[in-house]
């Protein structure tokens, strides 16, 4: 029993030697929702020690982030960021220096590839009988093959950019998933591996929750990238660097479009599995995704009604950012460009076209998400305390920008 290991660690608390494997194993055995009170009490003792711990800051931080995820339910602050253990992923943030924006994509590529490859490796290992993790409601092999196919399609471009695709020889999806798994594992550092291991704490023991968590984490990585790049596009417009503004807008559009297969991958989740583990995810909903709302509010200032709805009340710090005017939007920046006398109509038009392209991709994302939610959820309410899919139906056609006409929005809606 891992409580013995934690107790023994408490005699010589060193952040470098915390028995993560034993604790995580125990969480996996029963699901986070059912973690034994005795273990949770010990972990709370570990947390009390954090301020006095000596050792490299990175190790203390990893432990603090892990405990924040592990103890979210007993603390009654379980939510979307803690469910996904987002703190472990070290995503780029909108507050990073703008000069770092060009590097965000390679950081996100790396993380996306690792998250998806790990999800695929889990599927393959279960199929091969190599692990017994999350044994409830296993998918059949055909479904796993489909899952692998979509997952591989999602990361193929990033694998190419990372030069990890040259030795991939397998054709059959599960065999290729195994091969990708080992290539990516070899390229993964110890710290990255640790982050992957500590960022998967399902609430229950249903096989498909592994997929669900990894897909959500991958989308969060995408939204983080978009937030960073859109902020950089705003700054580029203010500095009259139109090449750079168009580059960041186009790169954001491509990234959003490229995530399509992630939805297909998630669509292979078994509906009954989803309905089983979501009994224990109440209170964690992507309506609490900061990066998604940052993206929305970097495009334009949300309407009063939306700011005052659960959409923004679920992300209080993003709402505050908007309310206190800390947020210059693409709409503001483009309006200023349009009003200025010193910008050629050709430059104005290529910026507008890049914005339109991004808006179309965003509307398509919302529609695909809506369709998946209808399929998985039916008439049930959302875990973010909305009425469920009617909330999504109402919000999916909200204009992305006000300054550029939403040409093609209607077409995107029906696709």
Bridge partners of residue 136, in order along the sequence: 206
- Nearer of residues 26 and 149 to ligand HEM, judged by Cβ: 149
H/E run at residue 141: helix 141-161
Please tell me whether residue 266 binds ligand HEM under the rule CB under 6 A. Answer: yes
Q: How many residues bind ligand HEM (CB under 6 A)?
A: 26
Report the alpha-carbon distance of residue 275 to residue 133 in Å, rounded: 19
Please tell me whether residue 299 binds ligand HEM under the rule CB under 6 A. Answer: no
CB of 274 to ligand HEM, least distance (A): 5
- Nearer of residues 27 and 277 to ligand HEM, judged by Cβ: 277
CB of 402 to ligand HEM, least distance (A): 17
- Nearer of residues 126 and 287 to ligand HEM, judged by Cβ: 287
Q: Which long-range contacts (CB under 8 A, 24 or more apart) does 244-248 make?
A: 245/351, 245/354, 246/350, 246/351, 246/354, 248/101
Report the alpha-carbon distance of residue 333 to residue 11 in Å, rounded: 57
Task: Give SS3 for 206.
Answer: strand
**DSSP letter (8 states) at residue 288:** G
CB of 359 to ligand HEM, least distance (A): 15
Q: Are 396 and 363 in contact (CB under 8 A)?
A: yes
H/E run at residue 13: none
Please tell me whether residue 274 binds ligand HEM under the rule CB under 6 A. Answer: yes
Please tell me whether residue 210 binds ligand HEM under the rule CB under 6 A. Answer: no
| Integer angstrom CA distances of residue 321 from 163, 300, 305 | 39, 13, 16
Structure tokens that stand for 400 in this block = 């992305």
Q: Give the residue, chosen from 376, 400, 404, 412, that forms a contact with ligand HEM under the rule CB under 6 A.
A: 376
Q: Give the residue, chosen from 234, 287, 295, 337, that forms a contact with ligand HEM under the rule CB under 6 A.
A: 287
Q: Are 389 and 377 in contact (CB under 8 A)?
A: yes
Structure tokens that stand for 97 in this block = 């220096």
Please tell me whether residue 384 binds ligand HEM under the rule CB under 6 A. Answer: yes
Structure tokens that stand for 59 in this block = 């190790």
Q: Can you list the positions of beta strands (E) in 42-124?
A: none
Encoded one letter per residue, x for contact with ligand HEM by CB under 6 A and - for no contact, window 165-204 reads: ----------------------------------------
Q: Give the residue, chosen from 391, 400, 403, 412, that forms a contact with ligand HEM under the rule CB under 6 A.
A: 391
Residues lying near ligand HEM in the complex (CB under 6 A): 215-216, 219, 266, 274, 285-287, 289, 292, 311, 369, 372-373, 376-377, 382-386, 388-389, 391-392, 395
């Amino acid at each position: 029993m891992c409580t013995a290991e934690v107790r023994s660690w408490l005699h010589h608390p060193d952040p470098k030697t915390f028995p993560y494997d034993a604790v995580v194993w125990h969480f996996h055995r029963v699901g986070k929702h059912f973690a034994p009170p005795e273990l949770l009490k010990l972990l709370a003792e570990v947390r009390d020690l954090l301020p006095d711990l000596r050792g490299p800051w990175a190790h203390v931080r990893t432990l603090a982030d892990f405990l924040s995820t592990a103890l979210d339910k007993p603390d009654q602050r379980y939510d979307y960021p803690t469910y996904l253990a987002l703190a472990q992923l070290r995503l780029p943030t909108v507050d990073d220096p703008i000069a770092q924006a060009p590097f965000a994509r390679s950081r996100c590529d790396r993380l996306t590839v690792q998250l998806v490859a790990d999800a695929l490796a889990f599927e393959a290992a279960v199929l091969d009988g190599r692990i017994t993790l999350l044994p409830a409601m296993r998918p059949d092999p055909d479904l796993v093959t489909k899952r692998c196919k979509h997952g591989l399609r999602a990361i193929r471009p990033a694998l190419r950019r990372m030069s990890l695709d040259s030795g991939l020889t397998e054709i059959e999806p599960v065999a290729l998933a195994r091969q990708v798994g080992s290539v990516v594992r070899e390229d993964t550092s110890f710290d990255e591996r640790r982050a992957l291991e500590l960022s998967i704490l399902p609430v229950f023991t249903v096989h498909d929750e592994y997929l669900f968590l990894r897909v959500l984490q991958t989308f969060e990585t995408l939204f983080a990238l978009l937030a960073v790049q859109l902020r950089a596009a705003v700054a580029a417009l203010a500095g009259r660097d139109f090449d750079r503004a168009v580059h960041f807008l186009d790169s954001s559009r491509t990234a959003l479009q490229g995530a399509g297969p992630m939805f297909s991958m998630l669509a292979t989740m078994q509906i009954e599995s989803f309905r089983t583990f979501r009994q224990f995810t109440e209170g964690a909903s992507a309506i609490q995704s900061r990066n998604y709302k940052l993206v929305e509010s970097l495009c334009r200032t949300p309407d009063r009604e939306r700011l005052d709805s659960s959409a923004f009340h679920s992300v209080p710090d993003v709402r505050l950012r908007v309310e206190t005017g800390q947020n210059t939007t693409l709409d503001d920046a483009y309006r200023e460009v349009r009003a200025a006398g010193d910008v050629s109509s050709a430059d104005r038009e290529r910026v507008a076209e890049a914005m339109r392209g991004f808006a179309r991709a965003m509307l398509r994302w919302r529609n695909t998400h809506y369709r998946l939610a209808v399929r998985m959820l039916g008439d049930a309410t959302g875990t973010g305390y909305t009425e469920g899919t009617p909330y999504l139906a109402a919000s999916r056609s909200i204009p992305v920008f006000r300054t550029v006409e939403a040409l093609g929005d209607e077409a995107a809606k029906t696709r």
